[in-house]
Amino acid sequence: MTRITLRFDFDDKRRLGPGKVALLEAIRQHGSIAAAGRDFSMSYRRAWLLVDELNKMFAGPLVETHGGGRNGGGAVLTELGGSVVALYREAERKMSRSASREIEKIEQVLALAGTPQS
Amino acid sequence: MTRITLRFDFDDKRRLGPGKVALLEAIRQHGSIAAAGRDFSMSYRRAWLLVDELNKMFAGPLVETHGGGRNGGGAVLTELGGSVVALYREAERKMSRSASREIEKIEQVLALAGTPQS
């Protein structure tokens, strides 16, 4: 099963790709930047810097933190954060569908990998 | 103008993304792995390893080298190599079109970057 990964380069500096989107989804799930980062074996500092970058990239913050200072408090996706995640995932779904013929054709010319093709 | 980058993960080990495809296109243009690598400030060794990986990934080689040993000779895309590049680029075009609405919506919520939005 071929997995499609999608990255947007908005301009020289601003990028949105699978890593940032997965981090946002993990923040929504765990309610915490630290816990979300751990899902990807990411240091708290690294996760926090990515969130900071995302918050500055868009017209408003995608993640809001509350309570207990940087490490102690929780974090939630804002409405804008939820929208950006949904738009990215919807783009990904549409793209996989739209190019399914090309993907299939590329799969057909892959070398056999271990198991024989039927 | 948002640029879309696409990567295929066929399985754990086999990936096809913008770097490899651009290298194949440069080999087609220059007729040489070394010259193609230079376009991306890539060592000859690095370029050659990527070509070797691509050649093993598919049912046949994507690049054929001829004459003068590893460094001296020329290189051409095979018919299969040309097909893989064309399928990748066509998938990319279809994908950009199919998700143009989502891309536009994400662009609309980007922070203003230097120039004011109209």
Q: Does the pLDDT value for residue A114 go beyond 60?
A: no
Which amino acid, residue A28? R
* Segment A22-40, tens digit of pLDDT: 999 999 999 999 999 999 9
Give me the pLDDT at residue B69, please: 55
Residue with the larger pLDDT of the pair A4 and B71: A4
Is A89's Cβ below 8 Å from some Cβ in B?
no
Q: Which residue has the tokens 């087609």?
A: B28
Query: Running DSSP on this structure, what letter comes out for residue B58?
Result: B
Interface predicted TM-score (ipTM) over 0.95: no
Alpha helices in chain A (DSSP H): 18-30, 33-39, 44-57, 69-72, 79-98, 100-108
Q: Rounded mean pLDDT of chain A?
A: 89
The 10 Å Cβ neighbour count of residue B27 is: 28
Please indicate if any CB of chain B lies within 8 Å of the CB of A88. Answer: yes
pLDDT per residue as tens digits for the range A36-79: 999 999 999 999 999 999 999 999 999 999 876 555 579 999 99
Residue A88 has pLDDT above 50, yes or no: yes
| B95 contact A CB<8A | yes
The answer on pLDDT for A115 being more than 70 is no
Residue B116 has pLDDT above 50, yes or no: no
Residues of A in contact with B17 (CB under 8 A): 5
The partner residue sitting opposite A111, judged by closest CB among B57, B88, B113, is B57
Q: Determine contact: A91 vs chain B, CB below 8 A.
A: yes
Whether B104 has its CB under 8 Å from any CB of chain A: the answer is no
Q: How far apart are the first and last CA of chain B?
A: 14
Do A111 and B56 lie within an 8 Å CB cutoff?
A: yes
Share of chain B above pLDDT 70, in %: 91
Residue A89 pLDDT > 50: yes
Determine the Cα angle at B87 with ends B86 and B92, to 5°.
100
Q: Which amino acid is at A42?
A: M
Judge: A95–B90 Cβ closer than 8 Å, yes or no. no
Return d(Cα A54, Cα A48) in angstroms, integer.
10
Place of tokens 């929208």: A83
Q: How many CB atoms lie within 10 A of CB A66?
A: 9
Q: Do the strands B15-16 and A63-66 form a parallel or antiparallel pair, or are they unpaired?
A: unpaired
Q: What is the pLDDT of residue A116?
A: 45
B22 touches chain A (CB under 8 A): no
Q: Nearest C-alpha of chain B: how many angstroms from A5?
A: 5
Q: pLDDT tens, B47-101?
A: 999 999 999 999 999 999 987 655 557 999 999 999 999 999 999 999 989 999 9
Min Cα–Cα distance to chain B from A112, Å: 7
Q: Look at residue B117 in the predicted model and tell me its pLDDT.
A: 40
* Alpha carbons within 13 A on the beta-carbon side of A63: 32
Q: Residue A107: what pLDDT?
A: 93
* pTM for the structure as a whole: 0.79
Q: How confident is the model at residue B11 (pLDDT cuts 50, 70, 90)?
A: confident
Among A1, A8, A13, A108, most B C-beta atoms within 10 A, so best to mutate, is A8
What lies within 8 Å, CB to CB, of A9 at 6+ separation is A15, B2, B3, B4, B5
CA distance B103 to B105: 5
> Using a CB-CB distance cutoff of 8 angstroms, which residues of chain B are in contact with residue A97?
98
Distance CA B97, CA B75 (A): 34
Q: E strand or H helix at B107, and its extent?
A: helix B100-108
* pLDDT above 90: residue A2: no
Q: What is the pLDDT of residue A66?
A: 84
Interface of A with B in 25-64 (CB under 8 A): 56-60
